[in-house]
């Protein structure tokens, strides 16, 4: 048949192929037998690895193999800007030091851009960018201080805060040109100022009792107009320096298993501030106050950073990861609910150090749906 004849007879042809109509009009079909009376070879059906999921991407929630991508959850919101390689990312919490979701009292808005593309045809599918840099800022939020009577009443309250001065966030990932699966990473979050005293809005900061008997040394303790409300801990400088390795298994055509390992050093500093009220003005104060603590790494466990991630990206992609940083163990997992566009993610963190610091939460669990849209 020529194309015009196929088009005219396609309905009849489809009935012959499906067996709805007997191809041999001189032979009556046997009851219960296969209705297809023509000669054919059966090709057994398989559940193939979807090409869109079996590509060698490093981050399933931020896929580099898509022209446009958008991911949204309570933990993170990401947008890929076309084929530029730019990513706009907003992240709640400071996962790098174990304070996930609102437990750190801060969020970060960053722009990631590529600085060098991978031109090696054998590895550029796996690692399209040799150098990625990010730059942005961290900002504080007041969520999570008191969840009673809200939709998040089952989530632990927080005490740790981010400072009112904000932070600059910068980082870079460098993949080695001779073996792009291997690389080094650097992440820094630095406050904009050496905060000593600041007026704030009431009720926006988590506080705890004055266990160390911190007190003013400039005579304000005798001022009856000064109302000491407690100690407010502020998360200040954080940073990581790591080496990492990406590893894909399953063959070049279907790299359906992915592993990533990171090891290095991590830093986190938390400073205490006196929170007091005087004539309806609320102030964070560090100048002229004795007994305030500054929590910094003072042991190998405080410095040690390790993270391992596994992702299965076959027909139903899921991921598991575990991280130790700042003596906090954090586990993360996500799995698909509907196709590859609606997933469910959970995070759990627990303190490993013998003595829990007053601003830390022993066990913190949070769960969130993920909406993933790609073009």
pLDDT digits (tens, 9 = 90+) for 177-217: 999 999 999 999 999 999 999 999 988 999 999 988 999 99
**Cβ atoms 256, 249 nearer than 8 A:** yes
Confidence label for 332 from pLDDT (cuts 50, 70 and 90): very high
Q: How far, in Å, CA of 283 to CA of 232, rounded?
A: 10
Greatest Cα pair distance in the chain: 112
Residues near 14 by Cβ (< 8 Å), separated by ≥ 6? none
pLDDT, tens only, 222-267: 888 999 999 999 999 999 999 999 999 876 566 788 999 999 999 9
Supply the Cα-derived Rg of the chain in whole angstroms.
29
Kindly report the average pLDDT of the chain as a whole number. 90
**Cβ atoms 95, 140 nearer than 8 A:** no
Please give the model's pTM, rounded to 2 decimal places: 0.83
Residues near 259 by Cβ (< 8 Å), separated by ≥ 6? 246, 247, 248, 249, 308, 309, 310, 311
């Amino acid at each position: 048949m020529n194309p015009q004849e196929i088009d005219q007879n396609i309905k009849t042809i489809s009935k012959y192929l499906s067996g709805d109509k007997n191809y041999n009009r001189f032979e009556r079909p046997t009851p219960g037998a296969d209705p297809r009376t023509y000669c054919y070879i059966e090709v057994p059906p398989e559940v193939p690895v979807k090409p869109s999921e079996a590509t060698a991407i490093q981050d399933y929630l931020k896929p580099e193999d898509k022209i446009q991508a958008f991911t949204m959850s309570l933990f993170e919101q990401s947008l890929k800007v076309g084929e530029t390689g730019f990513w706009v990312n907003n992240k709640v919490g400071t996962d790098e030091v174990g304070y996930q979701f609102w437990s750190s009292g801060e969020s970060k808005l960053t722009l990631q851009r590529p600085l060098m593309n991978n031109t090696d045809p054998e590895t550029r599918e796996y690692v399209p960018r040799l150098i990625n840099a990010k730059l942005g800022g961290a900002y504080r939020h007041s969520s999570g201080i008191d969840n009673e009577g809200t939709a998040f009443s089952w989530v632990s309250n927080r005490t740790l805060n981010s400072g009112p001065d904000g932070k600059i966030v910068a980082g870079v990932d460098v993949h080695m040109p001779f073996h792009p699966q291997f690389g080094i990473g650097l992440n820094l979050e630095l406050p904009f100022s050496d905060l000593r005293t600041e007026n704030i809005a009431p009720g926006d900061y988590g506080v705890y009792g004055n266990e160390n008997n911190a007190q003013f040394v400039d005579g304000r303790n005798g001022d009856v107009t000064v109302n000491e409300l407690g100690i407010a801990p502020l998360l200040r400088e954080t940073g990581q320096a790591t080496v990492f390795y990406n590893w894909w298994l399953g063959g070049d055509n279907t790299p359906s298993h992915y592993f990533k390992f990171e090891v290095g050093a991590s830093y986190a500093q938390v400073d205490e501030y006196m929170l007091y009220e005087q004539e309806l003005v609320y102030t964070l104060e560090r100048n002229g106050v004795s007994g305030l603590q500054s929590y910094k790494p003072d042991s190998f466990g405080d410095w040690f950073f390790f993270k391992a991630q596994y992702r299965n990206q076959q027909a139903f992609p899921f991921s598991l990861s575990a991280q130790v940083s700042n003596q906090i163990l954090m586990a993360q997992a996500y799995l698909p609910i509907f196709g590859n566009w609606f997933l469910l993610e959970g995070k759990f963190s627990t303190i490993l150090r013998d003595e829990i610091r007053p601003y830390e939460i022993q066990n913190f669990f949070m769960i969130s749906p993920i909406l993933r849209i790609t073009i």
